[in-house]
Structures are given as C-alpha cells and as structure tokens.
A and B are shown apart, each in its own frame.
Chain A
Amino acid sequence: MTLLEVENLRTYYTEDDGGLVRAADDVSFSIEPGETLGLVGESGSGKTTIAKSIIRLLADNAEIVDGSITHRGTEITDLSKKALNREIRWSEISMIPQNAMNAFDPVYTVGEQIVEVITVHERGTSTAEAMERARQLFEDLGIDPDRVDDYPHQFSGGMAQRAMIALALALNPSLILADEPTTALDVVIQDRILETIKRMQEEYDSAMILITHDMSVVAETCDRIAVVYGGRIVEIGDAETIIDDPRHPYTLGLRNAFPDITADDQALISIPGTPPDLVDPGEGCRFAPRCPFADEECWEVTPHPVEYEPGHLVECHRADEKAFLQAEAEKRETWLGQEVGDPTADRAPVEEVDD
C-alpha cells in the first residue's frame, strides 16, 4: 500500500500586498513504505513548502489551497490540529530540520526532550523506560549514551544533527522529512551524517523525503528523485534514470552544475538566469525563459507531465527529443545563449571551476 500520496497539491503564500506566491503548484507524487525520495531544486523552488505542507507546518500566511495528501489512506489536509498532533505528527511523520542546533529547546537536556516526545505520544511509558530508549538511540547513532544529560549547546553541529536524527526516530515513524539535513555541516561530516541517516532509515524501515539542492547527495542516497522547479515537479523518476538519462532541460542543466569525479579537467556549466517569480507566473513552461531549447509552444502552453518510461514523468514539450537534448546540453555553447526577455543575459553568466 502506498505510504503517502500527494495529489495536485497547491500551497500559496499571500504576500502583504495581496499577491499570491504559488510556492507549490499542482504537485503530485507518492512514496512507498521504506522508499527514499529526493526533492531537488534551487533555493526558492518550493521544496520546503512541499515538505511543510505534508506535516502542516506552514507559516501563517501560507495555505493549502487545493489538492490532497493522504497517509495510508487518511486525508491529512482535513485533519483537525488535535487529530494531526495525535495521529500523524512525529508518530507517523517526523522531521529532521536543517539546523539541529536551534531545533532543540535550549533549556532542556537533549535526553529530556527525547523522553518528552516518547512519554507524551506513548501514554504509559515511564520516564525511566523512555530514557533507556533515548540512550539506546544515541548508541545506535554513534553518540556516547551518557551525553543524553547534556544540553544542546554542549553538542557540536554534527552531533546535534545526530541527536536530531535520534529524536526523529524516537517513535519509529513511517516517514521522515529531512529538510537539507546536511547543509549546515562541513563536507566530511555531511557524508557521515548521510550514511547514518541511510543506515538508520533501513534499520527502522522508514520512508524518507530528502530535500536538498545538492544533486550528488540525492544521487547517493535516494531511490527516486523529483526535480522541483518554480513550484512544480518538472521531472520525477528512478534515481538512475534522473542522474544518467534525464529528459528535462532543467535536470540536464542541474547535472552539469555538479562535478563528475570520473571526468578530469572539467569546467562546470551553470544555468543562466534566476528562478522564476512565483507571483502570477502565467501560461507557458516556467523554465522557458532560461531554457536553451524553448520554442514558441513552450512560451504559450503550460506543459503537463507525460510518462515516458514506467514511473518516469517529465513536464516538457520537447522531452521526446531525448537524444538531441542530452547531446546539446553537454555543450557549453548551448547554455551561453541569452535568456529570452532578460537583456542582461548577454554577459554569459558561466562559472568556471579549475582544479
């Protein structure tokens, strides 16, 4: 049975001047139990909004306007806050935030906070039992169990992130939302934390949505990848398909922007232009202004997802020209073309990385 099903989700933010920011616009995807889905995209593409819609942690000015989110058949968007707290939050869906250090309450020890989560959600569990579980979790995550008595500020960044993973796993949830869990850490620690998350997720048999802007992170960790652009999922499919055989020009561009360790002496190619303004985006493909392959149809008609291989959906009018797109996208000249409608794009915004 599908664990989580998101259908036609639209989450809009109302700005002070009354404008609507369509941060998630017609987003659909699903997750099977135990699966890891990566949400990749630039900053401001709507990845976090999608995750926060699932656990209903949206800001006061944001609203789920349309669509449904079902967890094992239960509609989450309709649940009262009380029912949501009791049935879904943390016991079924937990979250690993970006900056664990600030995500702990500074006045309680980390152990006390894990104990609180356990005793509040599982009535009848004694404090001593809960503390024992907290110590066990710490041990599983490679932290000295005696550190449960420490306060958050006594932890290093990586250790706080591990403690946060312990907290996320405390109730053995069916789904973990990891919102850029390694962004605040240095590269060495990042790698270890990802390994830990992966290992724990398998051990505890939880599904995970991993939100990141880092293509290499999802490549290593995820079973499936959804590429988010301008509040929409532009391409979704198996990790291998998205990494090795993508069809969407944006995915091709993202892939170029990250180094391939097998190739030597490569210069990274970046995608020109900036993410779209999500206030009233209008008709047409949202990537068209930055897309080197955009034609008239792309500007006028909003594309809809088309399934090319089983489970591989692409939202692009020219996705059927796979071979052409892939060949052209590898060439630097392709991405030097000016951004249509943006007169400043002549100054080829290409970053060169020499190493």
Chain B
Amino acid sequence: MATRTRPGWRDLPEKLSSGSRWIAGKFRVFEGDRIGQTGLVLLFGIILIGIFGRPITLDLFGMSQTLQPFSLAPYDPSVSHRGPDGRLLRLEGPSWAHPLGTNHLGRDVLSRVIVGARVSLIVGTIAAFMAVFIGTNIGLTAAYFGGWVDDVLMRITDIAYGLPFLPFAIVLLAIMGQSIYWIIFAIVIILWRSTARVIRSQVLSHKNRPYVESAEAIGASNLRIMYIHILPNVLPLAFLYAAFAVGYAVIAEASLSFLGFGPPEMISWGGMIFTAFNQDAIRQAWWWVFPPGLMIMFFVMSVFFIGRTLEMVVNPELRHRE
C-alpha cells in the first residue's frame, strides 16, 4: 500500500466539527424567534415522553435486552385499578393517586397519555416524512421533465386522488391485518398526492426562472439543477406540507383506531378520545378526553411552528428581512 501522508480518518474530527458548526449556523434562525423556540421545546418534550414513557426492551435471539429502563408512566397502562373495597375504579376523576383519573376500565389515564405519545410520534413522523418525500420527488420530476413523464406521474396522482381514505384503509387493514405499519402505509398512500401537486406547480414556475437557465448554461446536469438548485427553493413549501401531514397522519391514525382498525393492544391518543366517545363519556369524563386532545394539538402545533421557522434556513431573503 502506498504511503499516505494524511489518512482520511485524521480529517474526521475537523470535518465533524466543521459539519456541526454548519448545522449550528443553520439553526441560528431559532435565535430570538419565540414561536420557533416554543415549537422546539414542545416537540422535544413530546419526544422525551415518547422515549422515556415506558421501558424499551428488545428481544434478540431469545434474550431480552433492556435499552431504556425508565418509566415516566406511573402505572402499567393496561392494568385495571381497584379501590380499597375491591371495586373497579371506573371513570374516577383526578386524585393524588391518579392525577388524570381513570377510564371506563379503571386504567390510569395519565399513564395511557404518556404511553400514547409513542404511537403518535411514530405514525406522525414516519407517515408525514414518507408522504412528503414521495410527493416532493414526484412533483419535482413531473414538473422538471414535463411531457409524457409529467402526464404519467400526474395521472397516477389523479388515481391517488380518487382513493377515499377510510374505505381504502379499512379494506387494506382488513386484508393485510391490523398493524401500525399498514396504518402508516394507508396514510402515506393518501397523503403524498397533495404534496406532489403543489410541489409540481411550484417547480413549474421555478423552472423558467433565469437562475435555472444560467445553471443550464454553466453545464449543470438535470439532477443537479433539480436537486441542488430547484429543490431548496421549493423546500419551504415541502416543510409546510410536512407539518400539515403530521397533523393529518395523527388524526387519521386516531380515526382508524376509533373504527376499531388499530391493533387492539396499541395505545394512542386518537384511540383514547374515540374510546371515550364510544363509552359516551365525553361530556362527563373531561380528564379522559382533554389530555390526549391537547397532546395531539401540541404535537401538531410544534411541527407547524418549527416548519415556519425552518423556512428561514432555506430562504435567505426571509432571514435578512428585519
């Protein structure tokens, strides 16, 4: 092997530090932006709840490995609590033992809210990310190349527009079995279409701007023009649609859980509200309905706020506007 004066790994610390400086520089947009900071704090809190809500154990080759031993939830969410007299604590209001009361089966609502964060986080982020990823790429490709590529991709989008969400998801889950992955799949199939449409129209307007022509004159390839020059210009819109998609995905998951198509053992915020609705407890048991409702709201809000601030990362003109 030839002697190398500077092995690649030696550059690594330098590269890492310059990389983190770059990221830190981009995140400076949150400085002095109260709304963005609020969003970050909310999201960070929900992520912490998601991670530390219940211990995470992983079964590997018959050995169970505990990855995360903490439990923020005071009780096991599926245990029914009984009073000293042995009676089931049905729909008990808040007390010291159960700060958010209990539900119709005597289960601790606080524990269920904490544990439910995980499902919403997973469904919301994965479904939204996948939907926006697919939608952005399809919209970008269709608009940039135009012609028959545009025709084919947009007709596929039209077909996706023809799918009604609930019947489609119900049939899909009935055939494939009730699992969180198929729920995510159903949400993604429905969600990508609007992003594709909107990104396509935005790219169509950018395609004819002088900077794209000069990039072409400079000798940039199609892929470079698409992903390095046009994409960052339409990314704010994609962020916005990602925020919408998170909200929509959380609510769609809730609807499916309500209809009984969620996995029965899965605890989610949407599922809680709809169980309360089913039990006709919405009017009396506010402690059962408000906490998961507020959590859904906070989660969607945090993504909106962050999306709004992140626009400034990709749009320097917004950043410099005083």
Contacts and interface: CB of A to CB of B under 8 A. Distances in A.
Nearest to B225: A105
A178 to B, nearest CB: 12
Given A57-B213, A99-B210, A103-B211, A121 B219 contact: yes
Quick one: which of B210, B232, B317 has the most chain A CB within 10 A? B210
Interface in B280-322: 314-317, 320
Interface in B198-247: 209-211, 213-221, 224, 228-229, 232-233
A2 B244 CA distance: 59
A57 to B, nearest CB: 6
B107 to A, nearest CB: 50
Given A97-B210, A153-B320, A154-B320, A107 B217 contact: no
A57 B213 CA distance: 7
A84 B217 CA distance: 10
A89 interface: yes
Given A153-B316, A153-B317, A154-B320, A103 B219 contact: no
Nearest to A82: B221
Contacts of A86: 219
Interface in A102-134: 102-108, 116-117, 120-121
Task: Report whether over half of chain B's contact residues are helix, strand or loop; otherwise say mixed.
Answer: helix
A53 interface: no
Contacts of A89: 216-219
B141 to A, nearest CB: 17
A151 B218 contact: no
Contacts of B214: 95, 97, 103-104
A151 B320 contact: yes
Q: How large is the interface on B (under 10, 10 to 19, 20 to 34, 35 or more residues)?
A: 20 to 34
A74 interface: no
Interface in B141-169: 146
A82 B221 CA distance: 8
B71 to A, nearest CB: 45
A90 interface: yes
A3 to B, nearest CB: 18
A270 interface: no
Contact of B232 (A57, A102, A107): A107
Nearest to B235: A107
B220 A105 contact: no
A94 interface: yes
A55 B217 contact: yes
Interface residues of A, number: 30
B316 A151 contact: yes
Contact of B316 (A82, A94, A107, A120): A107
Quick one: which of B217, B228, B232, B316 has the most chain A CB within 10 A? B217
Contacts of A94: 217-218
A105 B217 contact: no
A85 interface: yes
Contacts of B215: 105
Contacts of A97: 210, 213-214
Contacts of B314: 107
A91 interface: yes
Given A151-B316, A153-B320, A154-B320, A104 B217 contact: no
B315 A84 contact: no
Contacts of B213: 57, 97, 103
Quick one: which of B211, B219, B224, B229 has the most chain A CB within 10 A? B219
Given A57-B213, A97-B214, A107-B233, A120 B220 contact: yes
Contacts of A57: 213, 216-217
Contacts of B229: 105
A95 B217 contact: yes
A117 B218 contact: yes
Contacts of A85: 219-221
A177 to B, nearest CB: 8
B317 A151 contact: yes
Contacts of B211: 102-106
Quick one: which of A94, A104, A105 has the most chain B CB within 10 A? A105
B216 A91 contact: no
B209 A102 contact: yes
A169 to B, nearest CB: 13
A55 B218 CA distance: 10
A82 B211 CA distance: 20
B202 to A, nearest CB: 14
Interface string A202-226: 0000000000000000000000000
Given A120-B220, A120-B224, A121-B219, 11 more contacts: A86-B219, A90-B217, A94-B218, A97-B210, A97-B214, A99-B210, A105-B211, A106-B211, A107-B233, A117-B218, A151-B317
8 contacts: A89-B217, A89-B218, A103-B210, A103-B211, A104-B211, A106-B317, A107-B315, A151-B317
Please provide the 5 A-B residue pairs with the shortest distance between their CB atoms, ordered closest to farther: A89-B219, A85-B219, A102-B210, A151-B316, A103-B214
